[in-house]
């Protein structure tokens, strides 16, 4: 039983992440962020069992039965519940059902929305000048009960903060019960919709007018209702909703293995990112040229690497062939861009040359221009690499040997739910980090539809080569990063907004 947290995937605990990577079957709630599901190991079975008010959803007994069946089949089963499983989440009911049938359980708490949503709205639940305690109350009691289990007079007579979960359908009843129990109609109330998400919305009022304000602004579930003097502190402590990319939905088309870095940079500035990988990184179709080059690698004067994938492809193959990285001793290394330099550094290898501008045409000059005449250069590249660098090196008089270290391909399996979200056009911007991401996006979505989707959206390209690929597909980049790096791309998007 795992708490998935309130929405922001960054609030998932490290223990929860580790267990998700071990699970054979994952039962998940409707409000669990899709990026959390990406942590599940390949081949694991994903079963949605989420409950949403007013919509068809599995009965609790059915969920319990399925959990027991999968566990008894010898599977490692993860039950992923939004927030914390035991804060008004029926986690205890499911756990007890498993225990009664002899199933061993492990319980992993999560960050509850009762705390996270107010915090992301700038509302602390306690402050020594306003409230020294808080209560979490269900806003939706079991309809089978003959009388309420909530002591409204006790809640109204206390000085603590009141937090109601799942209470939007009963907002009028909640405010009415509190005022009838003696709480002042002027008591501040805050409602946070989609707390911790970049499309979070907050409305502030008091007990006598919050229902009207909620209707006027169209606030809907999932929402957390906070009642108490601490709500007044939002005016000074509102932080999340002031981030530069707050409320912006941005699609990332980069390969799945590489998308997280750009996602993190944009999320730190408040964006909601949707990873829609259009390419995947694969090994070369055949390793003949690469193996031949590795066999005589110490004979080269220079090794040129143009991407982190090239570094991983080359070194990975060297290790596969049981070659020693010390074979590179005496070979000068040139790289394009800090990401390639840093990947090389991770292996304990230092690059001698990196051009100030991270473009292929700048590299021969950085390597010494005419001084590389006659030099033997190993160019480790992708199968789809632009030939410009090879031509530039040969034009400078170098003797160039190419070795294919990796290739990119259009993803074979596209997540249908993610594709549907993109096809609806419900996003503000989209990023492209290579020509391949552009061409594959066009292929996956269909060129005419892709062109329509991108019209009026912020289209961000990592560099001029990618921007050219967009123009070739009749799409104009609204942003081209100052330098072709992920941090520069993220910075350009932030500055735009």
Q: What is the pLDDT of residues 167-208, one digit of tens each?
A: 999 999 999 999 999 999 999 999 999 999 999 999 999 999
Predicted local confidence at residue 417, as pLDDT: 84
Q: How far apart are CA 128 and CA 380, in angstroms?
A: 62
140 Cβ partners below 8 Å, 6+ apart? Answer: 166, 167, 169, 170
Rounded to the nearest integer, the mean pLDDT of the chain is 92
Active-site annotation holder among 1, 166, 318, 445:
166
Active-site annotation holder among 1, 8, 29, 442:
29
Is 51 catalytic? The answer is yes
Rounded to the nearest 5 degrees, what angle is found at the Cα of 403, between the Cα atoms of 401 and 409?
140
Predicted local confidence at residue 386, as pLDDT: 78
Is 166 catalytic? The answer is yes
Predicted local confidence at residue 54, as pLDDT: 58
Predicted local confidence at residue 143, as pLDDT: 62
Task: Kindly state the percentage of the chain with pLDDT values over 90.
Answer: 73
Q: Which domains does the chain have, with CATH numbers?
A: 2-110 (3.40.1010.10), 114-241 (3.30.950.10), 249-278+411-496 (3.40.50.10090), 282-409 (3.40.50.10090)
Does residue 52 surpass a pLDDT of 70? no
In the structure, what pLDDT confidence band is assigned to residue 48 with cuts at 50, 70 and 90?
very high
Predicted local confidence at residue 409, as pLDDT: 87
Q: Are strands 45-48 and 2-3 parallel, antiparallel or unpaired?
A: unpaired
Q: Are strands 376-382 and 302-305 parallel, antiparallel or unpaired?
A: parallel
In the structure, what pLDDT confidence band is assigned to residue 364 with cuts at 50, 70 and 90?
confident
Predicted local confidence at residue 141, as pLDDT: 77
Does residue 156 surpass a pLDDT of 70? yes
Q: Do residues 81 and 1 lie in contact, with contact meaning Cβ atoms separated by under 8 Å? A: yes
Cis peptide before 18 (omega within 30 of 0): no
Helix 288-295 and helix 308-320, axial crossing angle in degrees, nearest 10? 70
Cα–Cα distances (Å) from 409 to 406, 447, 449, in that order, read 10, 18, 21
Active-site annotation holder among 24, 51, 153, 488:
51
Radius of gyration in angstroms for the set of CA atoms belonging to the chain, rounded to a whole number = 28
Predicted local confidence at residue 75, as pLDDT: 94
**The model's pTM:** 0.81
- For 376-389, the pLDDT digits (tens) are 999 998 887 778 88
């Amino acid at each position: 039983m795992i708490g998935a947290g309130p929405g922001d995937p960054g609030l998932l605990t490290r223990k929860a992440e580790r267990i998700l990577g071990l699970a054979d079957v994952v039962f998940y709630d409707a409000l669990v962020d899709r990026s959390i599901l990406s942590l599940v190991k390949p081949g694991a079975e994903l079963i949605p069992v989420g409950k949403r008010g007013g919509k068809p959803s599995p009965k609790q007994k059915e969920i319990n039965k399925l959990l027991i069946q999968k566990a008894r089949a010898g599977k490692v089963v993860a039950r992923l519940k939004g927030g914390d499983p035991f804060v008004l989440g029926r986690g205890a009911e499911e756990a007890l059902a498993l225990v009664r049938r002899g199933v061993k359980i492990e319980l992993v708490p999560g960050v509850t929305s009762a705390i996270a949503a107010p915090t992301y709205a700038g509302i602390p639940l306690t402050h020594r000048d306003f409230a020294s305690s808080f209560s979490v109350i269900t806003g939706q009691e079991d309809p089978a009960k003959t009388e309420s289990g909530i002591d409204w007079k006790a809640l109204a007579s206390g000085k603590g903060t009141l937090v109601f979960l799942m209470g939007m359908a009963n907002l009028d009843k909640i405010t009415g019960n509190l005022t009838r129990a003696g709480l002042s109609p002027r008591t501040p109330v805050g409602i946070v919709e989609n707390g911790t998400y970049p499309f979070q919305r907050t409305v502030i009022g008091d007990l006598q007018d919050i229902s009207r304000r909620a209707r006027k602004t169209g606030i809907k579930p999932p929402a957390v209702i906070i009642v108490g003097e601490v709500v007044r502190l939002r005016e000074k402590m509102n932080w999340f909703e002031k981030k530069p990319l707050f409320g912006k939905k941005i699609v990332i088309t980069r390969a799945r293995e590489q998308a997280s870095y750009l996602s993190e940079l944009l999320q730190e500035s408040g964006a909601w990112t949707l990873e829609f990988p259009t390419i995947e990184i694969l090994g070369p179709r055949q390793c003949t040229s690469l193996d031949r080059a590795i066999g005589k690698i110490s004979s080269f004067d220079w090794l040129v690497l143009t991407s982190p994938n090239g570094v991983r492809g080359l070194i990975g193959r060297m290790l596969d062939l049981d070659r020693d990285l010390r074979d590179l001793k005496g070979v000068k290394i040139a790289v394009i861009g800090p990401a390639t330099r840093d990947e090389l550094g991770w292996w304990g290898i230092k690059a001698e040359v990196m051009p100030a501008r991270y473009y292929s045409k700048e590299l021969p000059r950085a390597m010494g221009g005419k001084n590389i005449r006659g030099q033997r250069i190993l160019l480790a590249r992708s199968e789809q690499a632009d030939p410009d660098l090879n031509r530039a090196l040969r034009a400078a008089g170098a003797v160039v040997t190419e070795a294919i270290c990796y290739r990119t391909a259009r993803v074979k399996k596209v997540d249908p739910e993610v594709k549907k979200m993109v096809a609806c056009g419900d996003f503000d911007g989209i990023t492209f980090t290579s020509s391949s991401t552009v061409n594959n996006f066009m292929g996956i979505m269909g060129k005419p539809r892709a062109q329509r989707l991108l019209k009026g959206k912020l289209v961000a390209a990592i560099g001029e080569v990618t921007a050219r690929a967009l123009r070739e597909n009749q799409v104009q980049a609204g942003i081209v990063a100052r330098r072709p790096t992920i941090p520069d791309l993220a910075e350009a998007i932030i500055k735009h907004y």
